[in-house]
């Protein structure tokens, strides 16, 4: 059974760096075709794709956020880590960790974690 | 990369069929057969309903179907039920991003 679980701070101050961890279960990020990424959703607003790392360590970032993002994978711990620098109140959102396998869709989602940016 | 355009809301009575549109460009919806649709109930994570334009994952009701014409993709829900009331988002592969989501559609069952 594939599951993904997000963890990280719920409150971050403006200008600080956010670090979110996604712990994977039921699959390996080393399996050909697998991708794990992040999608966020501000309260009451639409989904926004953020970043994705593939089984071969290829990484893709949202063009509008690219300069602030780093996504890394730790296959030994079966985790994916997202860092986003210079946080702003507009970055307040629920951040979802997602799984993709062999296509351009996201077939498994974590429960999401709400991150609030406020001083 | 601009978001794909969806109607803000669509409504229908139980048993009716409704269609949600998702309009993009030749660089996304029109250029690739990689459109997916997600259903999101309040306070819950989205759920994949359709992938690769018209394919249903295992376990998704056959009342949900997808199609595409030119730069516009569509999700049709037939035999509308109360449990279908939710927000729906389309997504497409793009040549630049590589993913873009739609603006979202609230489906109301009257």
CB spacing of A109 vs B32 below 8 angstroms = no
C-alpha A115/C-alpha A93 separation (Å) is 6
Interface check A83 vs B, CB under 8 A: no
pLDDT for residue B1 is more than 80? no
pLDDT of residue A70: 98
Q: Is the pLDDT of residue B98 over 90?
A: no
With beta carbons under 8 A apart, name residues in chain A contacting B38.
47, 106
| Residue for token pair 């030749």 | B26
Q: What is the mean pLDDT of chain B?
A: 97
- Name A68's Cβ contacts closer than 8 Å, sequence gap at least 6: A84, A85, A86
Indicate the residue of B47, B52, B100 with minimum beta-carbon distance to A103.
B52
pLDDT at B80 over 80: yes
Cβ–Cβ gap A52/B104 under 8 Å: no
Report d(CA B41, CA B36) in Å as an integer. 17
> CB atoms < 10 A from the CB of B2, how many?
10
At residue B53, does pLDDT exceed 90? yes
Tokens of A66: 């690219």
Nearest-CB residue to A105 (from B36, B45, B97): B36
Phi-psi region of B106 (alpha: psi -120 to 50; beta: other; left: phi over 0): beta
Share of chain B above pLDDT 70, in %: 100
- Distance from the Cα of B93 to chain A's closest Cα (Å) equals 6
Band (pLDDT 50/70/90 cuts) for residue B52 is: very high
Residue A35 has pLDDT above 80, yes or no: yes
- The fraction of chain B above a pLDDT of 90, given in percent, is 95
Distance in Å, alpha carbon of A119 to nearest chain B alpha carbon: 25
Residue B96 pLDDT greater than 90, yes or no: no
Q: A10-23 in b/e burial notation, b at 16+ Cβ within 10 A?
A: eebeeeeebebbbb
Q: If you ran DSSP here, which 8-state letter would residue B79 be given? A: S
* pLDDT tens digits, A8-28: 999 999 999 999 999 999 999
Q: Is the pLDDT of residue B73 over 80?
A: yes
- Planar angle of CA A39, B89, B77, nearest 5 degrees: 145
Which whole number is the average pLDDT over B12-20?
98
Note whether A77 and A90 are within 8 A (CB). Answer: no
With pLDDT > 70 as the criterion, what percentage of chain A qualifies? 100
In A, which residues are within 8 Å of B97 by CB distance? 49, 60, 62-63
pLDDT in tens, A41-70: 999 999 999 999 999 999 999 999 999 999
Q: Which residues of A25-35 are buried (b: 16+ CB within 10 A; e: fewer)?
A: eebebeeeebb
Q: How much is the average pLDDT of A70-75? A: 95
Q: Is B66 on the interface with A (CB under 8 A)?
A: no
Q: Predicted confidence band at A32 (pLDDT cuts at 50, 70, 90)?
A: very high
Q: Is B89 on the interface with A (CB under 8 A)?
A: yes
Which of B52, B91, B97 has the CB atom closest to A63's CB atom? B97
Could you give the C-alpha distances from B71 to B65, B68, B89, in angstroms and in order? 17, 8, 16
A112 contacts on B by Cβ (under 8 Å): 45
């Amino acid at each position: 059974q594939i599951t993904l679980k997000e963890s990280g701070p719920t409150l971050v101050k403006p200008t600080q760096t956010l670090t979110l961890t996604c712990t994977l279960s039921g699959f390996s990020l080393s399996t050909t075709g697998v991708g794990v990424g992040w999608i966020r959703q501000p309260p009451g607003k639409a989904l926004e794709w953020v970043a994705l790392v593939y089984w071969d360590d290829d990484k893709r970032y949202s063009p509008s956020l690219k300069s602030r993002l780093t996504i890394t994978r730790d296959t030994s711990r079966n985790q994916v880590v997202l860092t986003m620098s210079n946080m702003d109140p507009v970055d307040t959102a629920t951040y979802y960790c997602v799984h993709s396998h062999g296509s351009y869709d996201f077939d498994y989602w974590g429960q999401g974690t709400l991150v609030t940016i406020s001083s | 990369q601009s978001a794909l355009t969806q109607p803000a809301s669509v409504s229908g009575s139980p048993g009716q069929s409704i269609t949600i549109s998702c309009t993009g460009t030749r660089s996304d919806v029109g250029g690739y057969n990689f459109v997916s649709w997600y259903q999101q109930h309040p306070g819950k994570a989205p759920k994949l309903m359709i992938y690769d334009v018209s394919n249903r994952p295992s376990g998704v009701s056959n009342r949900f179907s997808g199609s595409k014409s030119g730069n516009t993709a569509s999700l049709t829900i037939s035999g509308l039920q109360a449990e279908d009331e939710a927000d729906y988002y389309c997504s497409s592969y793009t040549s630049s991003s590589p993913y873009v989501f739609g603006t979202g559609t609230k489906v109301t069952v009257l």
